[in-house]
């Protein structure tokens, strides 16, 4: 063969590390904050629940609460799904552990017109995890984010009908990504005529896992939330809230690499000009030691948790009924690309193109208060996907979602109530990819290779005390 | 408030919610396989014929025309192959007379050692065509390769054929291996170099055992070995009686070719002569020797053996291949596979006008061996790949009760 030249000095041009690019997408976004709101289809901005969880849903309404209100709750979020590949029709199920995001809220009415309080909640925090044989593990074997917000809150009654509220947000976010590295995608050499020659072009199969990378990092960021709530008439109310974006700079990231045996053995007369019988693992071993590209090193990136805005209305003109509807908007449009910077110049900067769209959701809920003061709730939320067709990945196979919710509130004592809720999240399935998108010119038809399906079962309990 | 009003309002709420709930997005159904389940994952193991090698080269175009690609299309199953970037690895011969190979603009003339690598888009994890040109029966199960060449790595990337095949979780395979165990020895006139039957059986058994161990429920076809003596790369010595043919040879060699008289009488006129005699004669010319063809061993000391397959050697080759094929047929029966002997179909091509030129038409730059063979006189042309595919379809339909349609 005329391509006879030494290729022993191959280098890893770009390990395909990337943070969970869509971590702050709706798929990772959590609205499981307070069982009352969940059961009402998350339509709790125009008709907040009468407890301190309103600090999240509509910080203004905290001015309407009396005395002290304490809310402690948690949700159990079980997500399951699968990827079915177009070519082999093989189905790869997810392996996502159940998540239990907690929340705590406290509100104190200082005077007739003023309340203060705080909330600790998890607005982003899910894990995407796949089995080790998943062919998309080169994009993500595991992608995890946990972003917890601490929000002091202050609320005022402007007059008998209107109130405002808000407060600063102190956010802490930690991320973890475990990703397989594909030898076939690494550059073996650069030929003056043929350009970069990857190991794949020399015959190494795509999906030859020769390393596993783990990237961890955490960061703080700060933002603000504000809300307004008012009574439009005796039976109609409205509310709106805005949660600013939080820009997390993960500057202390740590990337580690573990060599994974390929078991490959080069045949004689191979284009690498190595003796027949040479183990491929020995060829790449040097990359994991000394000055190799795949030694432990620092990394940094930046991730925005975008702006959120929500407006809602409620009507309580039917005896014992409360009906509510919200519209929510998330400003994903600004999420164009994600840059990962590695300490080792051989890895350099890695860019993932995201090109998200703003997303919307419609939420409706109903609550019936029985004569024994039990509250029965039902709701629905329809959510549009933020990810475009070309960015449906194993990190987040984002897709339109339908949330069907129900729950009830049970008064235990005069000041103590137990809320419980269940939500089923249905998705229609969506074509997506398990390969990297290396250029914006690549279309969904070119990179997508199968269909993702997802569903979730959510249980939530909240204990509410007023005193 | 009365109970009826409460229920009425509850019904209204439920109605509104029901309307919303019914507004589901279009359901995207996961892909499903609609053809016969046994073809869900088809993998071809084998050698150059399965790989799509033609005219002494292989490229994306010839790969697409290989019989496994044709079968996969008829099966209605996805089929990935290790696409070799045009003009190939090596590029196929474009002109039989000059030996010129396909060369892209701006590049030096392609040779038998040129390689333009794999197409990056064809670097896949699942590979449905794992056949490797040049592979012998020991190769599909041998990590280092017995007859390994650069294409072994370009196609398999450090795995064996069986290992690479199992990645695809095959439900159906075609196994076409063994031609190279006897082809080289036959066309060099040295049949003693062929793989002995016992070794052949041992290697074949190992390959099948590994395959079944990794895919216990796989179905398929074991393909017999071609009677390589019938390939037009070997021409009958009797053709040397034709001054026209000898003139063509002389033109190809670049000097007058002398034909020893033993080529024109028995037993020499029953010998088969390899077309590789042309570079051999060119070598003689280069050494200042008169290019001479001798057809009987040692009629001229040191001549008449290399590149000459005499009648006894032809019988040896014929019988050995028959023994190979008997074993393959028994193996197929033992594991419940279909068996196909390609020789009847290839023999039938002799009766098709223009299909096989034997001796070759040396005056033709693009069709020396007939329409059934490519420019190397060994590998089938695309039309013969269709014949092979259709013959296999008949065998498969008969064995597995399927109704796969012929390639048109």
3-state secondary structure of B192: helix
Residue B401 exposure: Cα atoms within 13 Å on the Cβ side: 1
| pLDDT tens-digit map of B202-211 | 999 999 999 9
Q: How many CB atoms lie within 10 A of CB A195?
A: 10
Q: Shortest CA distance to B271 belongs to which of B315, B227, B226?
A: B315
Q: How far apart are CA A90 and CA A103, in angstroms?
A: 39
pLDDT on residue B30 = 61
pLDDT above 50: residue B382 = yes
Distance from CA of A461 to the nearest CA of B (A): 24
What is the model's pLDDT at position B145? 77
Q: What is the pLDDT of residue B26?
A: 54
B123, B143, B154 member nearest A271 (Cβ): B154
pLDDT in tens, A260-284: 999 999 888 888 888 988 999 999 9
Kindly determine whether residue A428 and residue B153, on different chains, have CB atoms separated by under 8 Å. no
The SS3 call for residue B352 is coil
Give the containing element (helix H, strand E) for A378.
strand A375-383
To the nearest whole angstrom, how far is the Cα of B162 from the nearest Cα of chain A? 13
Instruction: Using CA coordinates, name the residue in chain B closest to A403.
Output: B21
Is a pLDDT exceeding 90 seen at residue A145? no
Per-domain boundaries in chain B: 45-232+316-400, 234-309
Res A19: pLDDT: 33
Q: Tell me the three state secondary structure of residue B258.
A: strand
Taking residues A190-201, report their average pLDDT.
84
Q: Structural domain boundaries of chain A?
A: 35-466
- Asked if B158 lies within 8 A of A264 by C-beta distance, the reply is yes
* A177/A352 Cα distance (integer angstroms): 14
Could you tell me which of A23, A38, A160, A8 has the C-alpha nearest to residue A407?
A38
- What's the Cα-to-Cα distance from B63 to each of A381, A449, B39, rounded to whole Å? 52, 23, 20
Taking contacts as CB-CB distances below 8 angstroms, the residues of chain B near A271 are 115, 150, 153-154
Tokens of B58: 């292989």
* Residue A410, number of CB atoms within 10 A of its CB: 13
Name which of A1, A90, A323 is nearest B13 (Cβ-Cβ). A323
- H helices of B159-196, in order, are 161-167, 183-187
pLDDT at A192: 81
Specify the pLDDT at position B66.
98
Cα–Cα distance, B344 to A124 (Å, whole number): 69
Q: Do B158 and A3 touch (CB under 8 A)?
A: no
What is the distance between the alpha carbons of residues B366 and B81, in angstroms, rounded to a whole number?
27
- pLDDT of B33 reads 67
Q: Which residues contact A151 (CB under 8 A, 6 or more apart)?
A: A55, A56, A59, A118, A119, A120, A121, A167, A168, A169, A170, A225
Q: Is the dihedral of CA A180, A184, A189, A194 positive or negative?
A: negative
SS3 for A255-285 is EEEEECCCCCECCCCCCCCCCCCCEHHHHHH
Ranges assigned E (strand) in A134-245: 142-157, 162-182, 187-191, 195-198, 209-231, 236-243
Average pLDDT over residues A191-217: 89
Average pLDDT over residues A75-83: 93
Q: Are B147 and B185 in contact (CB under 8 A)?
A: no
pLDDT at B19 over 70: no
Q: What is the pLDDT of residue A268?
A: 87
* Token pair recorded at residue B129: 């065509």
pLDDT score of B7: 41
Measure in Å the smallest separation between the Cα of A67 and chain B Cα atoms: 32
Q: Is the pLDDT of residue A163 over 60?
A: yes
SS3 A332: helix
Q: Are A288 and A204 in contact (CB under 8 A)?
A: no
ipTM: 0.80
A–B CB contacts, 8 A cutoff, strictly below = 175
| Nearest Cα residue in chain B from A446 | B121
Band the pLDDT of A1: cuts 50, 70, 90: very low
Report the C-alpha gap between A76 and A98 in whole angstroms. 7
Q: How many angstroms separate the CA atoms of A4 and B113, rounded?
A: 10
Q: Report residue A447 as tokens.
A: 């990179």
A10: pLDDT strictly greater than 60: no
**Smallest CA–CA separation between A170 and chain B, in Å?**
36
Average pLDDT over residues B380-393: 97
Q: How many CA atoms lie within 13 A of B53 on its CB side?
A: 23
Give Dmax over CA atoms of chain A in angstroms.
88
Sign of the torsion formed by the C-alpha atoms of B104, B107, B108 and B112: negative
Q: Residues of A with CB below 8 A from B154's CB? A: 202-203, 271
Do B150 and A404 make contact, defined as CB atoms within 8 angstroms? no
Place of tokens 């039938």: B348
CATH class of the domain defined by A35-466: mainly beta
| Distance from C-alpha of B113 to C-alpha of B90, rounded to nearest angstrom | 6
Q: What are phi and psi of B337, to 5 degrees?
A: -95, 165
**Per-residue model confidence (pLDDT) at position A16:** 32
In the three-class reduction of DSSP (H, G, I as helix; E, B as strand; rest coil), residue B405 is classed as coil
Helix (H, G, I), strand (E, B) or coil at A409: strand
CA of B220, closest CA in chain A: separation in Å?
18
Spatial distance between the Cα atoms of A105 and A122, rounded to a whole number of angstroms: 12
Please check whether residue A183 is in contact with residue A284, taking contact to mean a CB–CB distance below 8 angstroms. Answer: yes
Cis peptide bond prior to B90, omega within 30° of 0: yes
Confidence of residue A228 (pLDDT cuts 50, 70, 90): very high
Residue-wise pLDDT tens digits, B134-166: 999 999 998 777 888 999 999 999 999 999 999
**CB–CB contact A2 B144 (8 Å):** no
> Cβ(B281)–Cβ(B257) under 8 Å?
yes
Q: Quick one: how far is CA A181 from the chain centroid?
A: 23
B1 vs A319: CB contact, 8 Å cut-off? yes
Cis amide prior to B196 (ω within 30 degrees): no
User: Helix axis angle, B243-253 relative to B277-286, nearest 10°?
Assistant: 60
Average pLDDT, integer, range A115-136 = 91
Pairwise pLDDT comparison (B345 vs B107), residue with the higher score: B345
Confidence band, pLDDT 50/70/90 cuts, at residue B28: low
CA distance A430 to A389: 8
> Could you tell me what percent of chain A has a pLDDT over 90?
69
Q: Which residue of B has its CA nearest to A315?
A: B13
Decide if B45 contacts B175 (C-beta within 8 A): yes
Give me the phi and psi of B118, to 5 degrees please: -80, 145
DSSP 8-state secondary structure symbol assigned to residue B238: G
Domain B45-232+316-400 architecture: 3-Layer(aba) Sandwich (3.40)
pLDDT value at residue B29: 61
DSSP letter (8 states) at residue A114: E
Q: What is the pLDDT of residue A100?
A: 92
Q: Residue B277: which H helix or E strand, with range?
A: helix B277-286
Residue B2 has pLDDT above 80, yes or no: no
Residue B20's pLDDT band (boundaries 50, 70, 90)?
very low
Give the tokens for residue A311: 């407006």
Q: What is the pLDDT of residues B219-268, one digit of tens each?
A: 999 999 999 999 999 999 999 999 999 999 999 999 999 999 999 999 99
d(CA B130, CA B47): 9
Determine the distance in angstroms separating the CA of B123 from the nearest CA of chain A, rounded to an integer. 5
Q: Which of these ranges, A268-272, B101-105, B364-368, B386-390, has the smallest mean pLDDT?
A: A268-272
| pLDDT of B222 | 98
Mean pLDDT to the nearest integer, B285-293? 96
- Closest-CA residue to B157 (of A265, A286, A274, A282): A265
Residue of B nearest to A281 (CA): B158
- The least confident of A45-59, A401-415, B111-125, B385-399 is B111-125
Residue B228: in which H helix or E strand, if any?
A: none
């Amino acid at each position: 063969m005329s391509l006879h030249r030494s290729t022993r000095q191959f280098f890893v041009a770009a390990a395909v590390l990337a943070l969970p690019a869509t971590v702050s997408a709706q798929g990772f976004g959590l609205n499981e904050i307070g069982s009352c709101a969940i059961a009402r289809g998350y339509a709790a901005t125009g008709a907040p629940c009468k407890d301190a969880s309103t600090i999240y849903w509509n910080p203004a309404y905290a001015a309407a609460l009396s005395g002290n209100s304490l809310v402690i709750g948690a949700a159990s979020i079980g997500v399951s799904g699968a990827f079915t590949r177009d070519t082999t029709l093989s189905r790869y199920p997810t392996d996502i552990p159940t998540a239990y995001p907690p929340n705590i809220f406290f509100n104190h009415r200082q005077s007739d017109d003023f309340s203060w309080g705080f909330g600790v909640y998890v607005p982003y925090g899910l894990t995407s995890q796949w089995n080790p044989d998943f062919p998309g593990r080169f994009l993500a074997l595991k992608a995890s984010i946990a972003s917890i917000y601490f929000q002091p809150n202050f609320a005022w009654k402007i007059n008998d009908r209107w109130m405002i509220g808000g407060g600063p947000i102190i956010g802490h976010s930690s991320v973890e990504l475990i990703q397989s590295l594909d030898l076939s995608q690494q550059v073996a050499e650069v030929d003056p005529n043929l350009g970069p020659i990857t190991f794949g072009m020399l015959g190494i199969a795509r999906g030859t896992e020769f390393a596993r990378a783990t990237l961890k990092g955490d960061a703080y960021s700060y933002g603000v939330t504000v809300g307004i709530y008012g009574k439009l008439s005796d039976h109609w109310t409205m509310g709106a809230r805005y949660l600013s974006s939080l820009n997390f700079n993960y500057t202390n990231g740590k990337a580690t690499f573990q060599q994974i045996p390929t078991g490959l053995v080069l045949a004689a007369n191979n284009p690498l000009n190595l003796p027949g019988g040479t183990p491929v693992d020995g060829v790449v071993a040097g990359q994991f030691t000394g000055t190799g590209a795949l030694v432990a090193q620092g990394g940094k990136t930046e991730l925005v948790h975008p702006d959120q805005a929500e407006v809602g209305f409620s009507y309580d003109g039917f005896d014992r009924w409360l009906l509510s509807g919200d519209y929510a908007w998330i400003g994903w449009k600004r999420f164009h690309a994600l840059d990962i910077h590695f300490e080792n110049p051989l890895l350099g900067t890695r860019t993932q193109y995201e090109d998200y769209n703003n997303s919307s959701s419609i939420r409706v809920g109903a609550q019936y208060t029985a004569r024994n003061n039990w509250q029965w709730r039902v709701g629905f939320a329809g959510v549009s996907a933020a990810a475009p067709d070309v960015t449906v990945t194993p990190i987040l196979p984002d897709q339109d979602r339908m949330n069907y919710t129900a729950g009830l509130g049970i008064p235990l004592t005069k000041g103590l109530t137990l809320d419980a809720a269940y939500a089923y999240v249905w998705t229609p399935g969506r074509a997506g990819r398990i390969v990297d998108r290396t250029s914006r010119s690549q279309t969904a038809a070119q990179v997508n290779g199968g269909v993702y399906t997802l569903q979730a079962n959510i249980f939530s309990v909240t204990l509410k005390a007023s005193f | 408030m009365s109970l009826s009003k409460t229920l009425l309002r509850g019904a209204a709420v439920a109605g509104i919610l029901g309307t919303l709930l019914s507004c589901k997005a279009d359901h995207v159904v996961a892909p499903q396989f609609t053809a016969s389940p046994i073809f869900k994952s088809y993998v071809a193991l084998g050698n150059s014929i399965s790989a799509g090698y033609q005219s002494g080269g292989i490229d994306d175009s010839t790969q697409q025309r290989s019989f496994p690609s044709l079968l996969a299309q008829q099966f209605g199953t996805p089929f990935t192959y290790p696409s070799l970037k045009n003009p190939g690895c090596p590029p196929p011969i474009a002109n039989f007379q000059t030996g010129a190979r396909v060369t892209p603009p701006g590049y030096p003339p392609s040779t038998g050692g040129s390689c333009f690598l794999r197409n990056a888009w064809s670097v896949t994890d699942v590979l449905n065509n794992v056949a490797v040109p040049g592979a012998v029966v020991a190769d599909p199960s041998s990590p280092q390769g017995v007859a390994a060449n650069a294409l072994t790595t370009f196609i398999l990337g450090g795995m064996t054929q069986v290992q690479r095949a199992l990645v695809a979780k095959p439900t159906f395979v075609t196994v076409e291996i063994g031609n190279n165990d006897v082809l080289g020895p036959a066309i060099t006139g040295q049949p003693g170099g062929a793989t002995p039957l016992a070794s052949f059986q041992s290697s074949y058994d190992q390959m099948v055992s590994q395959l079944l161990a990794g895919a216990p429920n796989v179905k398929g076809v074991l393909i017999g070995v071609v009677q390589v003596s019938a390939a037009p790369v070997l021409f009958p010595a009797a053709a040397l009686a034709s001054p026209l043919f000898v003139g063509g040879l002389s033109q190809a060699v670049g000097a007058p070719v002398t034909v020893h008289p033993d080529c024109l009488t028995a037993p020499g006129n029953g010998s088969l002569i390899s077309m590789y005699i042309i570079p051999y004669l060119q070598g003689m010319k280069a050494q200042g020797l008169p290019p001479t063809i001798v057809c009987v061993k040692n009629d001229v000391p040191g001549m008449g053996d290399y590149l000459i397959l005499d009648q006894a050697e032809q019988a040896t080759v014929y019988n050995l291949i028959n023994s190979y094929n008997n074993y393959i047929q028994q193996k197929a029966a033992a594991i419940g596979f279909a068996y196909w002997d390609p020789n009847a179909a290839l023999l039938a091509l002799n009766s098709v006008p223009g299909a096989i030129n034997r001796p070759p038409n040396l005056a033709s730059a693009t069709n020396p061996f007939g329409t059934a063979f490519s420019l190397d006189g060994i590998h089938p042309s695309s039309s013969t790949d269709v014949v092979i595919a259709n013959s296999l379809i008949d065998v498969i339909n008969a064995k597995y009760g399927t109704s796969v349609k012929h390639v048109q």
